[in-house]
Amino acid sequence: MLKALGIRKAFDGKVAVSDINLEVRKGEIYGILGMNGAGKSTTMKICAGILRPDSGRVLICGVDIVKDPVNAKKKIGYVPEAPVLYNKITGREFLELIARSWSMGHDAEKYISLYTKRLNMLDALDDEIGSYSKGMVQKLCIIGALIHRPSVYILDEPTAGLDPVHTAIVKDMLREEKKRGASVFLSTHIVSLAHELCDRIGIIHKGRIIVEGSVGEILAKYHCNTLEEAFMRAVG
Amino acid sequence: MILTLLSYDIVSSIRWIKERMKKHPITFSWFLVLALFSVWLVTEISNTAVRIQNIPTISPYRVIFLIALFFMAKSAVEIRRGTLKNDRMEMLISMPESTVNLYLERVLREIVYNASLFAIGVSILVLMIIITGNYFPITLEYYVLSITAMLLGTICGTSISIFACYCGAIRYLGMMASALPMGIAYVVLEKIAPKYFPLLLLFSLFLYPLPALRFSDVWGLQVREKATHRGRSRLFGRNVIFAKDLLLRVREKDIVGSSMLIVFIVLAELYVWKTPISVPRQRLGLLIKPITVMMFAYLALAIEFVIPLMAIIGRERRTHWFLKTLPLQNKEIIKGKVMARLLLAPIMAIVPIPLCILYSFPLELIVLVLTATITLTFIFSAIGLYFGVKHPNLEPESDGNPEIMTMYAALILCLIYALLAVGIPSGIYMHDKFLGILAQIFAADMGSLALYLMIEYSAEWADKIEV
């Protein structure tokens, strides 16, 4: 569903990510784990079509995101690391913008209602986004990514700023999406979240994926009992 | 502590300028050339005003008042953007320093910046005097008054921006009190005696205590925005970006600002119409009224289209990710944004018409002016769009607004294109009216084509922007 083939990106000559090859299969949650500045967000942004890779390709359900961005983006639900939205529009208007952009029909109202109820956002939906807390903005972005029922989710630190209750709800929602057959590509630096949620994990260090596999495979490779320990060994 | 912060701000600004010079040496050189040209132009106009005694709108003391007014507006905008809407202030406010002192640092910082700008202007002027001979009648008293005007404007502008954050009566009373020294300045300069003008600086010190004491509260109000709207609105238009931008323009009171601009221009036209103009030569007399009309068109269109379109990408700096992830063609995004901006274009096009009617222009000349304004709307929008996409201001503290050098270059470019696109058809009009109007219609067609092509190219350029 999502394939990154040898992607490389440098900013002002400084290489941010290099030779990234990964695949997120149908109905799989793939987590990319790394320290601050390892290249997680750059990888996510390239996969979401926000940044253009210097070399390499990203395929979303077989569609090249650089060559045919519109069709590729139709299949993606993206949540950035620290979302900033338009302060002067309401949460509902923001979701309606998304629904219209993805040409959703009458289903839009149904899914807006469904997800806002689950994430306890219904009461605040007609307030301007400028009055929202950081967590509420994060929840709104997650709802925005979910409502158009994408095939691929690209979520950059999706639970950042969420309280434990809503973190649990989001995790449940992602598991449901996985069951539906959607692929989830998420980044995190919280090892426990990756352990609990992901089918496969890629550890990124200094812009390169240094190890990839299921939690069991990674633990076996480093002869560790916990993922945290394995992560520490992997990044040296 | 205050001096440390101040020196940090100054060093940061110097580094920023150096970086800009290194990154865009041509733009910087162009800016210098334009600055020299502008000062020359101003001195020429002033000299002409001195020679032609019957233009009462320009007098030496009125220029002093305009300097104060300019620095007041500049300081009000800069303090609002650089201080009250600056997330980095959180760090400063959390420091063990009184808000009174922090406010003092912000005022001093503004004074240093304004003084630098003032010094640059004066240096260029002095250079001009040396090159061209000492022909501009500037006395020591005039310099003292100019510096006073700069300081007074800075203090008033800073205070206005603080009070503008309050709600209710205190907002309006505070803003009126902050602007009071400016009103008195006008009376002192025009009606009493300019020598008393520096005393106003002492009077303006009363503007310091209250904003200084309430500084941190005001900052908090600005950073965490209050919800001023609750409820549902209909999104208009088929283009999603147009619908979003239109909604934002209404909610951010941008439409109100544009309407106020129209009212202001019409009032200024009435003022100019009421002002008697006597010109020495018949030929100049024929041109001066149409030129005055077109200057109003230039002003209105530059403010309404050029400057906002220059911020088309910069304003979306923090929300750029959202636009980039939408399954929309870049062209559709740019088109939607331009259309939302051009919404008031039909009204803007008729802004110079009241003055045409007041001057009793013949119908064919009114048609020419109207077509010329439409031409300029297209051309100015294309120029604004070009700079907005090619040179967006992505600096975190800029709020996306174009930086001064780029803005200056764009506005001068607009002036040059305006001279060509309106000057040539007007020249033809002077020989053959019908042909002149046809030439202007042709120029309008070319302008619309330029805007169309600019939207096409901008889509490609916008695709390469990475925030």
Complex prediction ipTM:
0.91
β-pairing verdict for A76-79 and A152-156: parallel
Condensed to tens digits (0 to 9), the pLDDT of residues A102-112 reads: 998 888 899 99
- Is B256 in the A-facing interface, judged by CB distances under 8 Å? no
CB contact under 8 Å between B235 and A100, yes or no, is: yes
Please give the backbone phi and psi of residue A19, each rounded to the nearest 5 degrees, phi first. 50, 50
Instruction: Using CB atoms, pick whichever of B244, B318, B324 lies closest to residue A84.
Output: B318
Query: Is the Cβ pair A93, B232 closer than 8 Å?
Result: yes
Supply the pLDDT for residue A200.
95
Taking CB atoms within 8 Å and a gap of at least 24, the contacts of B157-160 are B157/B71, B157/B72, B157/B73, B157/B74, B157/B75, B157/B76, B157/B77, B157/B79, B157/B110, B158/B75, B158/B76, B158/B79, B158/B106, B158/B107, B158/B110, B158/B211, B159/B207, B159/B208, B159/B211, B160/B72, B160/B76
Contact A97 B327 (CB under 8 A): no
Closest partner residue to B324 among A49, A71, A130, by Cβ?
Answer: A49
The neighbour count for residue B228, using CB atoms within 10 Å, is 11
Residue of chain A nearest B231, judged by CA positions? A126
Q: Looking at the predicted structure, is the pLDDT value of residue B235 above 80?
A: no
Q: How far is B450 from chain A (nearest CA, A)?
A: 26
Look at A13-27, A158-172, B11-25 and tell me which has the smallest mean pLDDT. B11-25
> Which pLDDT score, from 0 to 100, does residue B278 have?
60
Q: Is B141 exposed, middle or buried (0-12, 13-18, 19+ CB in 10 A)?
A: exposed
Nearest CA distance, A55 vs chain B (angstrom): 15
Q: What are phi and psi of A7, to 5 degrees?
A: -80, 145
Residue A54 within any structural domain of the chain: no
pLDDT at res. B284? 58
Residue B138 confidence (pLDDT): 65
Residue of B nearest to A154 (CA): B325
Residue range B232-240: mean pLDDT, rounded: 70
Mind listing the pLDDT tens digit for each residue in A217-230? Answer: 999 999 888 888 99
B121 compared with A152, residue with greater pLDDT: A152
Asked if B232's CB is within 8 angstroms of A86's CB, the reply is no
Boundaries of domain holding A214: 27-42+70-235
For residue A116, being part of any structural domain is answered with: yes
B225, B228, B240: residue with CB nearest A97 = B240
- CB burial string B329-340: b at 16+ within 10 A, e below: ebbbbbbbbbbb
pLDDT (mean) for B26-41? 75
Q: How far apart are the first and last CA of chain A?
A: 32
DSSP3 helix / strand / coil % (chain B, rounded to 5): 80, 0, 20
Q: State phi, psi for B132 to the nearest 5 degrees.
A: -95, -5
Distance CA B256, CA A38 (A): 46
Q: What is the CATH number of the domain that holds A109?
A: 3.40.50.300
A117 is a domain residue: yes
Choose from A92-101, B156-165, B229-238, B245-254 the range with maximum mean pLDDT.
A92-101
Task: Give the residue-averaged pLDDT of B69-88.
Answer: 81
pLDDT of residue B305: 93
Confidence of residue B281 (pLDDT cuts 50, 70, 90): low
B442-464 burial code (b ≥16 CB/10 A, e <16)? ebbeebbebbeebbebbbebbbe
pLDDT at B21 > cutoff 90: no
Count up the domains in chain A and report the number.
Answer: 1
Picking from B247, B318, B327, the nearest residue to A93 by CB comes out as: B247
Q: Which residues of B touch A50 (CB under 8 A)?
A: 320-321, 324-325, 466
A118 in a structural domain: yes
Mean pLDDT (whole number) for B203-213: 74
- Range name among A224-228, B210-214, B309-313, B344-348 with the lowest pLDDT average: B210-214
Q: Is the pLDDT of residue B37 over 80?
A: no
Beta bridge partners of A201: A31, A213
- Within a domain: residue A15? no
Measured between CB atoms, does B85 come within 8 Å of chain A? no
Average pLDDT, chain B: 82
- Whether A167 is covered by a domain: the verdict is yes
DSSP state of B203: H
Check residue B187 and give its pLDDT: 83
Do A87 and B225 count as a contact with CB atoms less than 8 A apart?
yes
User: CB of B326 within 8 Å of any CB in chain A?
Assistant: yes
Q: Report the pLDDT value the prediction gives residue B455, as an integer from 0 to 100.
A: 95
pLDDT digits (tens, 9 = 90+) for A35-62: 888 999 999 999 999 999 999 999 999 9
| Cα angle A188-A189-A194, degrees, rounded to a multiple of 5 | 60
Q: Is residue A2 part of a domain?
A: no
Least confident segment among A199-208, B58-67, B83-92, B96-105: B83-92
* Helix or strand run (H / E) with residue A6: strand A2-11
* Three-class DSSP category at B453: helix
Least confident of A46-55, B277-286, B328-337: B277-286
Minimum Cα–Cα distance from B247: chain A residue: A89
Considering the entire predicted model, what is its pTM? 0.81
Q: What is the percent of chain B with per-residue pLDDT over 70, rounded to a whole number?
A: 86
The torsion defined by the Cα of B100, B177, B303 and B224, in degrees rounded to 10, comes to 40
State whether B235 and A96 contact (CB < 8 Å).
Answer: yes
Contact A93 B318 (CB under 8 A): no
Q: Residues of A near B (CB-CB distance < 8 A)?
A: 45, 48-52, 69-71, 73-74, 76, 78, 80, 83-90, 92-93, 96-97, 100-102, 126-128, 130-131
Burial grade of B426 (CB within 10 A; 0-12, 13-18, 19 or more): buried
- Interface contact B459, partner A, CB < 8 A: no
Mean pLDDT of chain A: 92
CA distance B251 to chain A (A): 6
Residue B444 pLDDT level (bands cut at 50, 70, 90): very high
- The mean pLDDT value for B330-359 works out to 90
Q: Which amino acid is at A40?
A: K
Q: Is residue A105 in some structural domain?
A: yes
